[in-house]
Chains A and B, each alone.
Chain A
Amino acid sequence: MVSSNADIGYNSKVEGGVIVSKADAVINWIRTHSLWPMPMGLACCAIELMASGASKFDISRFGAEVMRFSPRQSDVMIVAGTVTYKMAPIVRRIYDQMAEPKWVIAMGACASSGGMYRSYATLQGVDRIVPVDVYVSGCPPRPEALLDALIKLQDKVRTETSAKDLLKIKS
């Protein structure tokens, strides 16, 4: 069946191979669909993070399958697990080593708030040490919840003023 909307969409005969768009829309579109995660696996949440990357849930459907163990090649740090005070400065240091733009997902109760570890050794939420974009509830969260967090983060990335930030235009 031929859709009656065919003329409204992109038509190379009419537009001659040129697409008009906003720089923000293009940059955000690119960023949204290739968020390379830095897997900051610190506890059992990391097992669910691995499940998210495996065939059954397949985080590559959302363009985030390239788990980089080098912060310099990563866009989004997924803090998966309990952050102890001994580990906290190291988490921050790895975050500092990531190139801009960068985002953080706090995966699970421990990373979000300290979780069940109300103890002398545990950082009470990773947002005390790095800025967090998305929190995921659960102990540990199921892979679907992490995928949902990734989609939420993609929604956030889509709304950013990327061109302005890149060109350092002061509003």
Chain B
Amino acid sequence: MIAQDLLAALQGVNSEVAERESADWPSFNCPIDSLVDVLKALRDNHGYDMLVDATGIDNGVEASPRFTVVYHLLSTSNHVYIRVAADCLDSENPVAPSAVSLWPAADWHEREAYDMFGIKYENHPDLRRILMWDSYPYHPLRKDFPLAGHEEDLWDEEIREETGTKVIPAPMAGGPFVSSSSSFEADKEPRAKDESWSEEKEKPDA
């Protein structure tokens, strides 16, 4: 078993490495302070030479630990994937070590996780937002961020004054718009979850 051998080997790096529940590939939980050491061991000693994805998880506003960082690795010689997760210690200002020193590919992935979740990566060479504009004050994939967004000023001051346009919460009109799980293709057209109101019809008072 790949998972058992790996687990034993990784516990040599840090004894607290444990198996993580997974539906597909071997997956491990790792203490965040030895995350880089574990990733380095996987890369140098076990052939996991390619970083496929680095991302984050918001476990919920109440959850503790709230934020988890996840690294997906691939062995290009053995063609097997592996997943390593580490919980951030601080739920208010989550901090995680950067893997850019191991894989340059981690650069943009970690910038995206920083943009969307607000996870600060230590020793990252260029930790800026990658999708939202630099002055945006929120982290949109956090569980307490509404899909429609918040009202906000446009980032360009001149255009803001010229047009008077603001960033507005998107009109949801009964959304989000989802397709039903019905088996008929014709019924899978996405519809508003709450069809009691729309752009023409006011939302009924609760």
Residues of A within 8 A of B (CB): 85-86, 88-90, 92-93, 96, 114, 116-124, 128-129
Apart from A85-B155, A86-B131, list 14 A-B contacts with CB within 8 A.
A85-B167, A88-B165, A89-B158, A118-B148, A118-B172, A118-B175, A118-B177, A119-B147, A119-B149, A120-B145, A120-B148, A120-B169, A124-B171, A129-B165
Q: Which residues of A contact B138 (CB under 8 A)?
A: 120
Given contacts A119-B148, A121-B131, A128-B163, A85 and B154 within 8 Å (CB-CB): yes
Closest 10 A-B residue pairs measured CB to CB? A120-B149, A89-B156, A89-B159, A118-B170, A86-B133, A128-B165, A92-B159, A85-B167, A129-B163, A119-B170
Which residues of A sit under 8 angstroms from B13, Cβ to Cβ? none
Chain A residues contacting B177 (CB-CB under 8 Å) are: 116, 118
Interface code B34-78, partner A: CB below 8 Å = 1, 0 otherwise?
A: 000000000000000000000000000000000000000000000
Dominant secondary structure at the B interface? loop
Measured CA separation A86–B133 after assembly (Å): 6
| Residues on B with beta carbons closer than 8 Å to the beta carbon of A92 | 156, 159, 162-163
Contact status A118-B171, CB under 8 Å:
yes
How far in angstroms is the closest Cβ of chain A from B110?
Answer: 20
Contact B140 A121 (CB under 8 A): yes
B residues within 8 A CB of A119? 147-149, 170
| Contact code string B90-126 (vs A, CB < 8 Å = 1, else 0) | 0000000000000000000000000000000000000
Contacts of A124 in B (CB 8 A): 168, 170-171
Find chain A residues with CB under 8 A from B190 CB: 116
Compute how far the CA of A129 lies from the CA of B154 in the bound complex, rounded to whole angstroms.
11
- List, in ascending order, chain A residues with CB within 8 A of B175's CB: 118
B→A interface (CB under 8 Å): 131-133, 138, 140, 145-150, 154-156, 158-160, 162-163, 165, 167-173, 175-177, 190
Q: Please, how many angstroms separate the alpha-carbon atoms of A128 and B159 in the complex?
A: 11
CB within 8 Å for A86 and B165 given contacts A118-B175, A121-B131, A121-B149 = no
Q: List 20 A-B contacts (CB under 8 A).
A: A85-B154, A86-B131, A86-B132, A86-B155, A89-B154, A90-B156, A92-B159, A92-B162, A93-B156, A93-B159, A116-B190, A117-B170, A118-B148, A119-B149, A120-B140, A120-B145, A120-B169, A120-B170, A121-B149, A128-B163
Q: Residue on A with the closest CB to B190? A: A116
A122 to B61, CA, bound (A): 25
